Amino acid sequence: MRTTVGIIGGGPAGLLLARLLHRVGIDCVVLEARTREYVEHRQRAGMLEQGTVDALRACGAAARLEAEGLVHQGIELRFAGERHHIDFPVLTGGRTVTIYAQTEIVKDLVALQLADGPPLLFEAQALAVEKPESEQPVVRFLHEGREQTLTCDWVAGCDGFHGISRDAFPAATSRTYAHDYPYSWLGVLADVAPSCDELIYARGENGFALHSMRSPSVSRLYLQVPNGTEPDDWPDDRIWDELAARFAIDADWTLGRGPITAKSVTPMRSHVHEPMRHGRLLLAGDAAHIVPPTGAKGLNLAVSDVRVLGRAFAELHRTGSEQLLDSYSELCLDRVWQATRFSYDMTRMLHAQPNGDAFESRMQLARLHRITASRHAAAELAANYTGLPLPL
């Protein structure tokens, strides 16, 4: 097989890139290791910056998002028994965010791709990217029980944190910056109407909790738990009791309970791989960087990388210029590091330190008080949360 752009990974990054390339007439092939069923049902985040919504709309993938997405005007911070509203439009000059699950974006993009797009192969597991320095890099992959090759002009590594694309970067010219946090998130989906109109980020004395949602009848909730926790360590009643304790405020408010339909534990880490390009291999999304979910930046960063990459390939196709491809890594990394910083700060401000450090705990409260007392500090949070300017 051969193609112009070989895309490894059919998550949001790979699927959106395929869509952007298809729209400007560049052929590509997407190799996805898992089944369609698996990628369409994997539980992930669901908070979209305006730029992400705009990118999906611009490539004709936002019909259902526009009908079903929930537009939010802000978030609520809870700490020390009080609630504080952070009003995004007021603080940012009109910006909002939209709740729409990543799994739904994947379903929408897969449907478009299978209807009129270039090939998308499921259960096609890339094994290695070979000769990325050459003009014809090759992806070796397993499909239908045999090893095959995809010869490309360019390869886009969109294969997430556990992918193989990063392995093709030489150790001598690449560097990874990593930070593991000393806690994880237990996430649950529950068939109960959300007990809030907007997301609640709560700093409880026993740890962090987040109240998010998927629809008017489905809630998505998270609890900070120790690393190494198994979902079965937490029977449903224990989860609801702990959530209620962490969201408790002095005013009258109750957390609605309902049947829990999914439960999983996610470790928290920050990871940035530099550079994002080696020869004719370019990384995008989680393959290049991951952030802890506290700032809701993972999916949004993947989309902003792909927007740059789509533009760079379009420019090459139209004018023959590789200028944008040459600056791809530099263009993306500034925004990547800003989102890494924001996610780190949000995480550190809201999670209980496992060692119970009293000084750190007071620093968290001081940071939170500053945000609620100063319009300037709140505006800084709102600007980062709703999304810093896009690179292009």
Give the span between the Cα atoms of 333 and 305, in whole angstroms: 9
Q: 385 CB contacts (<8 Å, ≥6 apart)?
A: 75, 86, 88, 97, 295, 296, 342
Q: How far is CA 141 from CA 146, 155, 202, 230, in A?
A: 8, 13, 45, 33
Q: 115 CB contacts (<8 Å, ≥6 apart)?
A: none
Taking alpha carbons only, the member of 289, 299, 388, 293 closest to residue 346 is 293
Establish whether 100 is a catalytic residue.
no
Taking alpha carbons only, the member of 305, 283, 266 closest to residue 129 is 283
Task: For residue 280, give the amino acid letter.
Answer: R
Asked if 285 interacts with ligand APR (CB under 6 A), we say yes
Nearer to ligand APR by C-beta: 45 or 61? 45
Angle between helices 298-319 and 50-58 (to 10 degrees): 40
Nearer to ligand PHB by C-beta: 7 or 296? 296
Asked if 102 interacts with ligand APR (CB under 6 A), we say yes
Cβ atoms of 279 and 132 within 8 Å: the answer is: yes
C-alpha R_g of the chain: 21
Look at residue 49 and give the partner it binds from ligand APR, ligand PHB, none, a contact being a CB closer than 5 to 8 Å depending on partner kind: none
Asked if 293 interacts with ligand PHB (CB under 6 A), we say yes
Look at residue 9 and give the partner it binds from ligand PHB, ligand APR, none, a contact being a CB closer than 5 to 8 Å depending on partner kind: ligand APR
Nearer to ligand APR by C-beta: 102 or 384? 102
Given the rule CB under 6 A, which of 9-17, 112-120, 169-177, 236-244 is the region that contacts ligand APR? 9-17
Cβ atoms of 154 and 137 within 8 Å: the answer is: yes
Establish whether 12 is a catalytic residue.
no
For the segment 124-163, give every residue that binds ligand PHB (CB under 6 A): none
Establish whether 344 is a catalytic residue.
no
Asked if 299 interacts with ligand APR (CB under 6 A), we say yes
Pairing of strands 277-278, 281-283: antiparallel
Q: Which of 20, 296, 302, 324 binds ligand PHB (CB under 6 A)?
A: 296
What is the distance between the terminal CA atoms of the chain, rounded to a whole angstrom? Answer: 33
Give the span between the Cα atoms of 218 and 264, in whole angstroms: 16
Establish whether 201 is a catalytic residue.
yes
Q: Which two tokens stand for residue 268?
A: 């928290």
Given the rule CB under 6 A, which of 29-37, 68-76, 202-210, 268-276 is the region that contacts ligand APR? 29-37
Asked if 294 interacts with ligand PHB (CB under 6 A), we say yes
Q: Which two tokens stand for residue 158?
A: 């969109």
Site size with ligand PHB, rule: CB under 6 A: 10
Helix count (H) and strand count (E) of the chain? 12, 19
Check 132, 194, 293, 391 and give the catalytic one.
Answer: 293
State which H helix or E strand residue 16 sits in: helix 12-23
Asked if 140 interacts with ligand APR (CB under 6 A), we say no
Asked if 97 interacts with ligand PHB (CB under 6 A), we say no
Asked if 220 interacts with ligand PHB (CB under 6 A), we say yes
Nearer to ligand PHB by C-beta: 42 or 362? 42
Look at residue 220 and give the partner it binds from ligand PHB, ligand APR, none, a contact being a CB closer than 5 to 8 Å depending on partner kind: ligand PHB
Q: 249 CB contacts (<8 Å, ≥6 apart)?
A: 78, 81, 82, 83
Asked if 46 interacts with ligand PHB (CB under 6 A), we say yes
Asked if 45 interacts with ligand PHB (CB under 6 A), we say yes
Look at residue 31 and give the partner it binds from ligand PHB, ligand APR, none, a contact being a CB closer than 5 to 8 Å depending on partner kind: ligand APR
Establish whether 72 is a catalytic residue.
yes
Which residues of the shown chain bind ligand APR in the complex (CB under 6 A)?
8-14, 31-34, 39, 44-45, 102, 125-126, 158-160, 162-164, 285-287, 298-299, 302
Catalytic site positions: 72, 201, 293, 297, 385
Which residues of the shown chain bind ligand PHB in the complex (CB under 6 A)?
45-47, 199, 210, 212, 220, 293-294, 296
